[in-house]
Amino acid sequence: MARQVHVEVVSVEEMVWSGEADMLIARTTEGELGVLPGHAPQLGQLAEPSQVRIKLPGGGEQRYDVSGGFLSVTENGVTVLAEDCAPATTAPATAH
């Protein structure tokens, strides 16, 4: 069985999503960050506005538009603490 990382996406008002994931991708003020199981502890400020993508076991994906907040990676998993968070309505923009 492949290892997974526990992810929690939390807004000011509520727990938005919690579960196991293959990977989390978020854009911080320092650049895009991919978090896999076993990632080193890290704290980052989320870029505004940006999108958090959660790669689910089995190939699915959850996406959330976020504004403000932080991303915290610990030995227990990754937590996205967003000031504002909503399910994404469009795919993230890519740079060419």
Q: What is the domain partition of the chain in residue ranges?
A: 1-13+24-40+52-90
Q: How high is the pLDDT of residue 4?
A: 96
Q: How high is the pLDDT of residue 51?
A: 95
Q: Are 29 and 14 a contacting pair, CB within 8 Å? A: no
pTM here is 0.89
| Residue of 19, 22, 54, 58 whose CA lies nearest to 38 | 22
| Residue of 92, 32, 37 whose CA lies nearest to 61 | 92
* C-alpha to C-alpha distance for 49 and 77, rounded to whole angstroms: 23
**What top-level class would CATH report for the domain 1-13+24-40+52-90?**
mainly beta
Which regions in the chain score pLDDT beneath 50? 1, 95-96
